[in-house]
Amino acid sequence: MRSIAIAIRRSRIRASTRAPAALAAAWVAMAALAALALAGCGGATTDDGASASAQGTPAADAAQDAARAQATALRPAPASSRRVSAWRREGAVAMAVSADGLVAVADQDGSLRLLDARSGAPLRELAARGAQEPAGVTFLHAGARVAVVRRDSTAQLWDTASGALLATLRGPEHPPRAIAASADGAVVAVSGEDPRVLLWDGNTGRLQGVLAGSDDFVDSLSVSADGRLVAAGNAHARVMVWDVRSRRLLATLRGHADEVPAVAFSPSGRLLASAGRDGRLLLWNPLAPSSPLRTLVAGGPALRSAGFSADGGLLLAGAEDGSVTAWDVATGQQVRAWQVEHSAVNALVADPGGRSAVFIAHANRRVASLDPATGAVR
């Protein structure tokens, strides 16, 4: 923790002469604190700002210092080539589903609620109304922890069993827009109104660095289930794919004509879907991305969310008009369509716990469960 505190102080000093570099350093410092809290290493910054000591090995400290140095040394990102649209989210802003049957819903009013994935019944409210507006939520440690990032650049870490707030972490001034994690929570990516993506290890607390290469703000993120790849959709209609181990940009995918508010890997990681405000839903091979494998939707209502079914056989997309449509991945044929509500589908997540349900979160705060096999809605 002492090395983390030193890094935070140094980032403040650099801010006066090199603001973008200080921004990256601040995100790295915040991620380090989060990782330590989540991993239970004995160190965290608590809600009242107190800190506890953490015993780290020299190798771990060196790895963290190296990652911080890399982030700080990055050159300032080029200015965006177009004006980024304002953040527009209402009601249920973000949602995550754990393999052990929990649904976390982050609402625009600041609240964070847990639901039972099987019955839909509310379990507890972790954060009350009145907190800062959230941007994303994800489970870590097999559902034992839930992390929410907020538009005021804070992140909160909660224990799902006890409902206790473990830590409140403070980052840079630029608001975040997305958070995503691998299936085991080991790889966590965070993006904001900056072209770079922060990458860190949620299990060990070792910082992995910054993913660079986007030419505009990053709107959406997805991490492959095995943690090998990270994909991001940006405000300039681009989709980027990185290799986590090398942090190398593997591809920049061009197929959209507007912002890309949703990207999603298939459960196997062999396919990548992107959904745009241009109404296009595209299917890619992330490792051979010369052109889309399939254009499932060429236009229509602006899309807000997308995700694969748990078995990877279906791809679903939610639109700003509240409609949800499902396609067969193998044939490209539409198989189901729903109009549960007439408010935007802000999030769409398949149940990873072996059940066939797909959860959707609407701008009017309603969370519904869809059964793609039968078409039933709960």
pLDDT at 80: 44
Supply the DSSP symbol for 162.
Answer: T
Distances (CA, A) of 197 to 31, 126, 157, 262: 12, 27, 20, 15
- Kindly state the average pLDDT of the residues 230-249: 95
pLDDT above 90 covers what percent of the chain? 59
| Interacting residues of 164 by C-beta distance below 8 A, sequence separation 6+ | 158
- Which one, of 241, 221, 133, 213, lies nearest residue 181 by Cα? 221
**The pLDDT value given to residue 207:** 64
Grouping H, G, I as helix, E, B as strand and the rest as coil, residue 291 is coil
Q: Could you give the 3-state DSSP secondary structure of residue 72?
A: helix
Predicted model pTM = 0.81
pLDDT > 80? residue 374: yes
The CATH superfamily assigned to 87-370 is YVTN repeat-like/Quinoprotein amine dehydrogenase (2.130.10.10)
- What confidence tens digit (pLDDT) does each residue in 28-86 have? 444 444 444 444 433 333 333 333 333 344 444 444 444 443 443 344 444 444 445 66
229-235 mean pLDDT:
96
Query: What's the pLDDT tens digit per position in 270-318?
Result: 999 999 999 999 999 998 877 899 999 998 999 999 999 999 999 999 9
Calpha distance 293→283 (Å, rounded):
6
From CA 203, how far away is CA 38, in angstroms rounded? 7
Query: What pLDDT was estimated at residue 202?
Result: 74
CATH 2.130.10.10 in the chain is located at 87-370
What DSSP line would sit under 293-325, residue for residue?
SEEEEESSSPEEEEEE-TTSSEEEEEETTS-EE
Q: Tell me the pLDDT band of 204, cut-offs 50, 70 and 90.
A: low
Q: What is the pLDDT of residue 12?
A: 36
* Helices and strands (H, E) in the chain, number of each type: 3, 27
Q: Tell me the pLDDT tens digit for each residue of 156-203.
A: 889 999 999 988 877 656 789 999 999 888 899 999 888 989 887 777
**CA pair distance 169, 157, nearest whole angstrom:** 8
Calpha distance 172→78 (Å, rounded): 18
Task: Tell me the average pLDDT across 363-372.
Answer: 96
